[in-house]
Chains A and B, each alone.
Chain A
């Protein structure tokens, strides 16, 4: 049996891990997977040994709230959170409509039965609306910790018990308002993820027993035949069986030009079919599709932590006990319960707790919408601090597809003739350079031989030809022993590489070009790109050593490569960036993946990391300064100057501090990439 759960109360990825561990230790639980980012869990269990209620109780014992997920898909989960937001708003309306009369009652001096009426107005606010806070405080208490709910509970209960009914009611009202605004902002922050989800269709038209059925994606299995009409989104990954079309794969590759697809070609879920129609055989389902992998990666990343958060968490852990102590001292010195409650309320560290995760969520989400996958807070923090960028040449600054740049006939043949002969010979070769010689109608070649490392030869119309590379990195065509011509072949530089490198220099980063070419060739390429730091003649296995060398010089190195040949170097670098090349992109490698094959996105990625990290620092600063200024005022330290803070206003201020932090994070949504 499988149960899906909605879990609330998790603070970070370790909470998720803790629940996971505790659950797998329960008898009858086979596997448990808890996702912090989406606040959900999936548990497989044996229903003869354990009931799903026991699983929920197990989670609640740890101090979290769990309920069986009413829905499993993303859209419905969104509706759920919208419902929650509406519910909070109704609670707020309810409690403010009871709180406002309380204020008038308190201000009047001769209203009959003032206290009993106040009591009955505040009672539902304190105990019905406030119940949610009690629950939160209780679960925190059970694991021996305290949180915002604890402070709200202590503050409001104290006020209520001592007869300050309007204080307790207004405090709850304002905290609710803050919660409502915060949830609303968080919901907006999570929107970028839902954009990804919304891109793939929910159903597919499947051919089964000569019938065409419209069935949900979850019921499709590998081997099913799916029909795609013109203009439709392709629902899932597979291989074309019949028909042809062009497909816009921008979602996965960032390439806006459609790609031609014919029988035997791979197609991917979430991409958009052009004018043709075709049938394909499903090859990957569920979490194995490329789109699912990307979504998973982004979800995990947005729920991850940045090292800078440790500081905030450490402060929060000491904060609550420290604040309670200050509140008691305040009371002892001023004998004012008002001041004491104000201290408790204003000091809630919730803005501190929201500072990092909200910025990460928006920043990483914005990256994903630009085709830049940043795998978590640590990657983001490190990218914002790099000092050097090492660019692998082939496939990173160059297209990775060689082209003929020069043709020199040497024995009276025309350029066209020697290109035709060479192209025909190369049409049978599998050498990486062969694609440069591609011609449409090659001549028939007999006796073709590829001499490993020494070129190729073959017979065309009864004459024996051979192609070999020369010492000067050119390719020579021979008929027998007579040289017919020379070709220069080069891997051409991507159109945006030079601009991107210029921008990297402007950011005061040291840029290195890493290449297996000989020094002269590498230097020539470097020169045309404006790079002076050349690491030439580096064998594939020597790449990581070069990175290490830079690191020992004190550089924080970002290594950029295709993620296939240079995976070890990407792993050694402080930050490894894998450039995508089509949908075959190695999204598992590297700390950052650029889905588009464009170096300008690297600049965007670094800028986005810096912008997000700055946002985190701003948020932490705001949250801290707010508490540092707020506590002394609330404690009545400046009361002799007439500067005091009523508890309910302290509650409003606290709520607004969280809202301002989340709103500040949301500003990252407007981050502009370089190439627009």
Chain B
């Protein structure tokens, strides 16, 4: 289990952060995701055997935001 902190850009309000969390939590290998709109960061706990940070960024991009 690993933790990663990503900076997200493109969020407009708290709904965006909830959208990101909803999509991430549906992704295999992600244990938890907490996105903070005001701070523009996502705090993600994941299983490195199942998913890579690149893949996580991809998921966020598919939701419509940029992460790094």
Q: Are A21 and B12 in contact (CB under 8 A)?
A: no
Q: Report yes or no: B10 in contact with A317, Cβ–Cβ below 8 A.
A: no
Q: A21-B22, A310-B10 are in contact. Are A14 and B37 (CB under 8 A)?
A: no
- The verdict on A145 contacting chain B, using a C-beta distance below 8 Å, is yes
Contact flags A1-26 to B (C-beta < 8 A → 1, else 0): 00000000011111101100110000
Q: Any chain B CB within 8 A of the CB of A144? A: yes
Given contacts A21-B22, A317-B38, A318-B38, contact A305 B15 (CB under 8 A): no
A306-317, CB under 8 A of B: which get 1 and which 0?
Answer: 000110011001
Q: Is A143 a contact partner of B14 (Cβ separation < 8 A)?
A: yes
Which of A143, A305, A318 touches B12 (beta carbons < 8 Å)?
A305
Q: Are B12 and A17 in contact (CB under 8 A)?
A: no
Distance from B36 Cβ to chain A, minimum over Cβ atoms (Å): 10
Interface size counted on chain A using CB atoms at 8 A:
21
Q: How far is the CA of A675 from the CA of B11 in the complex (A)?
A: 40
Find chain A residues with CB under 8 A from B10 CB: 310
Which residues in B have their C-beta under 8 angstroms from that of A314?
38, 40
Which among B13, B18, B19, B22 is the interface contact of A313 at CB below 8 angstroms?
B13
Residues of A within 8 A of B6 (CB): none
Given contacts A317-B37, A317-B38, A318-B38, contact A15 B13 (CB under 8 A): yes
A18 touches B18 (CB 8 A): yes
Q: Please indicate the chain A residues that have their CB under 8 angstroms from the CB of B16 in the complex.
A: 12, 14
- Collect the chain B residues with CB atoms within 8 Å of residue A313's CB: 12-13
Q: Looking at the complex, which one of B19, B37, B38, B40 makes contact with A17 (CB distance below 8 Å)?
A: B19
Nearest CB of A to B29, in Å: 20
Q: Would A14 and B38 count as touching, CB distance under 8 A?
A: no
Q: Are B19 and A12 in contact (CB under 8 A)?
A: no
A363-408: which have CB < 8 Å to B? none
A21 adjacent to B19 (CB under 8 Å): yes
- Given A21-B22, A310-B10 in contact, is the A11-B38 Cβ separation under 8 Å? no
Contacting residues, chain A, for B37 (C-beta < 8 A)? 317
Q: Is the CB of A12 within 8 A of B22?
A: no
Q: If the complex has contacts A317-B37, A317-B38, A318-B38, are A14 and B12 also in contact, measured as CB distance less than 8 A?
A: yes
Cβ contact within 8 Å between A14 and B13: yes
Q: Which residues of A contact B15 (CB under 8 A)?
A: 10-12, 14-15, 17-18
- Please indicate the chain B residues that have their CB under 8 angstroms from the CB of A145 in the complex: 13-14
Do B12 and A18 have beta carbons less than 8 Å apart?
no
With a cutoff of 8 Å between Cβ atoms, the chain B residues found around residue A18 in the complex are: 15, 18-19, 22
Partner among A21, A62, A317, A318 whose Cβ is within 8 Å of the Cβ of B13: A317
- Give the distance in Å from the alpha carbon of A17 to the alpha carbon of B11 in the complex: 13
- How many angstroms from the CA of A10 to the CA of B13 in the assembled complex? 10
Distance (Å) between the CB of B7 and the closest chain A CB?
A: 13
Contact with A along B38-51 (1 / 0, CB 8 A): 10100000000000
Q: Shortest CB–CB separation between residue B62 and chain A, in angstroms?
A: 13
| Cβ of B8 to closest chain A Cβ, rounded Å | 12
Contacts of A305 in B (CB 8 A): 12
Task: Indicate if the CB atoms of A144 and B14 lie closer than 8 Å.
Answer: yes
Which chain B positions have C-beta within 8 A of A317?
13-14, 37-38
Instruction: Give a binary string over B15-30; 1 marks a CB under 8 Å from any A CB, 0 the rest.
Output: 1101100100000000
List A residues 1-54 near B (Cβ within 8 Å): 10-15, 17-18, 21-22
- For the complex, what is the distance from the CA of A231 to the CA of B63, rounded to whole Å? 49
Give the shortest distance, in Å, between A544 (CB) and chain B (any CB).
23
Choose among A11, A14, A143, A309 the residue that contacts B19 (Cβ–Cβ < 8 A).
A14
- Give B65 Cβ to nearest chain A Cβ, in Å: 9
The closest CB in chain A to the CB of B37 belongs to A317
List A612-641 residues whose CB lies under 8 Å from chain B: none
A49-69 to B contact mask, C-beta < 8 Å, 1/0: 000000000000010000000
Instruction: Digitize A189-220: 1 where CB-to-B-CB distance is under 8 Å, 0 elsewhere.
Output: 00000000000000000000000000000000
Is B22's CB under 8 angstroms from A11's CB?
Answer: no
| Chain A residue at minimum C-beta to C-beta distance from B10 | A310
CA of A12 to CA of B37, assembled, Å = 14
State the 6 A-B residue pairs at the shortest beta-carbon distance, nearest first. Answer: A18-B15, A15-B15, A14-B16, A14-B15, A12-B12, A317-B38
Using A62-B18, A145-B14, A310-B11 as known contacts, list a sample of 11 further A-B pairs with CB atoms less than 8 Å apart, ordered by residue number in A: A11-B12, A12-B15, A14-B11, A14-B13, A14-B15, A15-B15, A18-B22, A305-B12, A309-B12, A317-B38, A318-B38
A to B CB contacts below 8 Å, 12 in the list: A11-B13, A12-B16, A14-B12, A14-B13, A15-B13, A17-B19, A18-B18, A62-B18, A144-B14, A309-B12, A313-B13, A314-B38
